[in-house]
Structure 1
């Protein structure tokens, strides 16, 4: 199976365009055509062409940036679809699949009916597909790219042997343009001039050298099931069954060096009604001892009815969790904090538990951001060498004159006396950001220790003289 317009077909399925269309990829600081639809090909455009040249030929060309990662995912989806024809399906480059139909053709009237079904399904899905059926992998590839599905290999060009472009050009210069021309020549001179690759590819296509088809490995399925002989309904019995499910599931996660972030427990009652308990974790985990208590609240709210006879536990969201080297020095682990976040998340939702993270800005109001604690690991402290108050609020004006801090001022109905003033620390506005709060210009910040015990963060605006309180040290 060769999908000559895999990338453009994927993009057009998301956003249809009734015009010449092309996907571009930046290569060596130049936008070049990565894939294009049939209308663009009919106008003479081709891959690797510069986008500027393509627009000169076709001013109405619609272009978008290519996304090879999404194309790879789309090809993986097509691979799963192709397993309906045979179990042995592997990848053939970035835009093709190879199938070993041995032992599967008896499910169809004949091979022609199978190929016709492939074409019809691809056409219904608006996917360009070319097929090649041969006795060998090389022959099938050659017929899909340069032939008519089924036929002889001799009349096909030497490019059908999957050779490098430089080798193809060299063979054509010698007059060896077709596979027949190559197969009738003495093998010794060809091997001395071009190396063993040309003869190897020729023998693979003709079936003289076997070429295996390796199917893609299926991703692991993290789910376990338990059938209970006698229906259960007590909380202790259900939790004991959950423990029996967690142990093999965690063992499978450990074997693949993965951890679960979301678990779904399905409980089927004897009346065929099912209930689900969803558990989202603050970090990837595979420790059954730590996960089991987190299920207790959700399991306790389940209505067992006349009893539960089938239970299924599945890790819906899985993340890599590689093994760690155990050292002699004991290091602090965030397991207890993550367990607390997970336990609180089962009550109020993980998205409602937030943490402060540093932001890349010297402006006090922009030096931090809020992020869900479960989705963002803790980071190091702020990089400022100057101390910052724990509490920062909107600037509140106070009375004061001159560039030096006032010796006595009133703030929030309190009269305060300055004991020690440390500063100033001048902070300039970020000119590339439009912020109404910093339109007054520069700010000179002071750390003020008052006799009344308050430790405040004040600033003075030289352009528009005035004093403000913006934070308090705790």
Structure 2
């Protein structure tokens, strides 16, 4: 009971949530479907109304769907994106009541007890929900009843409002799938001739319990209100933002840095409480003339130590125009990443921390994307054995796997004069006359057929490590299919 009245629960079901989320950004006129790979087979995950009208359905093989509908447009499903979008809808639904929870992958449940009169009644409240969802381009089916199970069944199999205290009558004609049963249980009940919830209610409970266990009866009792079922609202994510107001305007750089230090201490305490670290911080300075300036700080790694972050603000704060003074400061962590608590050791700062601080400091001047590092790549082709990645968004690791040593310097192949499969005894390279003293090889490297590479279209290469009498240690290769010699690297 709620304030002397029965509980009233609303179930929101978005039957085409995934496909309509995509179509809101890129609308299409024809049939459209999202696919998901299950057990090495592409299957239909979600589709629009046009595709459903042509006879396509969820779970159908994508190959069969294309055979039925050659004009079908498709895209790979994004489960994480759908979950984030459902979280946005949950926050939107709090306009109707504070108790809103997520139900499955495409539904919401609301405890609207005592809130319907604010909208003029239950019917008017549901009509407002439908209208707003339609304006957003979303299909929505609604059910309202005394229990969570009854609202769920009505939304998916009846769509309507069950009067208070009349759950049995409202659910009697609905199929047994409305009890939130598994497909196996629904099939088992159908074999017994029980196809509606009313038929299950009128059947002796003991035989059902012996055949199906307590699950079917539990779902029936939850729908009828015999067994309570709570609506657990989702907690809002923490907001990483702090504010500081001054009784008198400030304008000195030292005063602004002192205020930033106080804000950082409060923000870092909140980050530590949630085991998170900031990657992007924004310091907003509001002036007395209602103007504002922002100092954005992008970090090379998630951080929550105020003493490490504060010096990185110095350059940005020094460029701020205070005008007639600053009367308010606000610090927000725009991008936050998980940062578990670490064991405290005798060293206050590790080498990795010092490197990240250096990258962050340089990044404030030239941009984090412009500070790059080389990372090993899984390829035996010399040109493809490494990748260049931004240092702030990559982790050093791995190693190069090569049966033979690789040169320290690698450059585009430079042709030299030579004949035969062995390195030439004398050759000219970069206007130098060189003589071969010792040659080690060959190491045959074949092209990777699965990659399109114009430089390797000619075929395989035989690589040699050549030490010259003049002191040069070069990496040469010979192309057997089109005889020729090239220099591609130099050892230290």
TM-score range, shorter chain: over 0.9
**Is the counterpart of residue 205 in structure 1 residue 223 in structure 2?**
yes
**Is the counterpart of residue 377 in structure 1 residue 395 in structure 2?**
yes
Give the structure-2-normalised TM-score.
0.89
Per-residue CA distance 1:274-302 (angstroms, 9 max, x = gap)? 10001111111111111111110111111
Question: Matched residues in 2 for 1:351 and 1:380: separation?
Answer: 22
Unaligned 5+ runs, structure 2: 1-11, 163-169
Per-residue CA distance 1:158-180 (angstroms, 9 max, x = gap)? 22211222222333333433333
Segment of structure 1 superposing worse, 238-247 or 39-48:
39-48
Question: Matched residues in 1 for 2:159 and 2:126: separation?
Answer: 12
2:244 to 193, 203, 226: 226
Structure-2 residue corresponding to 1:110 = 121
2:178 to 135, 160, 180: 160
Question: Matched residues in 2 for 1:329 and 1:339: separation?
Answer: 16
**Is the counterpart of residue 413 in structure 1 residue 438 in structure 2?**
no
Segment of structure 1 superposing worse, 225-234 or 9-18:
9-18
**Is the counterpart of residue 471 in structure 1 residue 489 in structure 2?**
yes
1:182 to 200, 224, 227: 200
- CA-CA distance at 1:140 after TM superposition: 0.9
Secondary structure in structure 1 of the residue aligned to 2:395: coil
Segment of structure 1 superposing worse, 78-87 or 273-282:
78-87
- CA-CA distance at 1:440 after TM superposition: 4.4
Secondary structure in structure 1 of the residue aligned to 2:262: helix
Structure-2 residue corresponding to 1:268 = 286
Segment of structure 1 superposing worse, 387-396 or 100-109:
100-109
Structure-2 residue corresponding to 1:18 = 29
Question: Matched residues in 1 for 2:279 and 2:159: separation?
Answer: 49
Segment of structure 1 superposing worse, 464-473 or 227-236:
464-473
Question: Matched residues in 2 for 1:178 and 1:430: separation?
Answer: 61
Secondary structure in structure 2 of the residue aligned to 1:282: strand
- CA-CA distance at 1:326 after TM superposition: 5.4
Q: Residues 381 and 30 (structure 1 numbering): CA distance in 2 closer, same or farther, change over 3 Å? A: closer
Segment of structure 1 superposing worse, 165-174 or 107-116:
165-174
1:126 to 99, 117, 137: 137
Segment of structure 1 superposing worse, 44-53 or 259-268:
44-53
Segment of structure 1 superposing worse, 455-464 or 383-392:
455-464
Q: Residues 215 and 403 (structure 1 numbering): CA distance in 2 closer, same or farther, change over 3 Å? A: same
Secondary structure in structure 2 of the residue aligned to 1:272: coil
Segment of structure 1 superposing worse, 122-131 or 385-394:
385-394
Question: Matched residues in 2 for 1:159 and 1:27: separation?
Answer: 24
**Is the counterpart of residue 396 in structure 1 residue 407 in structure 2?**
no
Per-residue CA distance 1:208-263 (angstroms, 9 max, x = gap)? 22110011121121111111222211111111111111112112222222211111
- CA-CA distance at 1:334 after TM superposition: 1.2
**Is the counterpart of residue 300 in structure 1 residue 311 in structure 2?**
no
Structure-1 residue corresponding to 2:365 = 347
Question: Matched residues in 2 for 1:329 and 1:272: separation?
Answer: 45
Per-residue CA distance 1:9-63 (angstroms, 9 max, x = gap)? 2232233232333333333344333223223333443322334444454454444
2:305 to 262, 287, 294: 287
**Is the counterpart of residue 86 in structure 1 residue 113 in structure 2?**
no
Structure-1 residue corresponding to 2:84 = 73
Unaligned 5+ runs, structure 1: none
1:430 to 448, 451, 462: 448
- CA-CA distance at 1:85 after TM superposition: 1.2
Q: Residues 330 and 389 (structure 1 numbering): CA distance in 2 closer, same or farther, change over 3 Å? A: farther
Secondary structure in structure 2 of the residue aligned to 1:355: strand
**Is the counterpart of residue 141 in structure 1 residue 152 in structure 2?**
yes
Aligned residues: 474
Question: Matched residues in 2 for 1:139 and 1:267: separation?
Answer: 52
Secondary structure in structure 1 of the residue aligned to 2:142: coil
Structure-2 residue corresponding to 1:456 = 474
**Is the counterpart of residue 360 in structure 1 residue 371 in structure 2?**
no
Secondary structure in structure 2 of the residue aligned to 1:340: helix
Per-residue CA distance 1:303-355 (angstroms, 9 max, x = gap)? 11121111111111111222234579999631111111111111111111111
Structure-2 residue corresponding to 1:99 = 110
Segment of structure 1 superposing worse, 93-102 or 315-324:
315-324
Question: Matched residues in 1 for 2:204 and 2:413: separation?
Answer: 89
Secondary structure in structure 2 of the residue aligned to 1:133: strand
Give the structure-1-normalised TM-score.
0.92
Structure-2 residue corresponding to 1:333 = 351
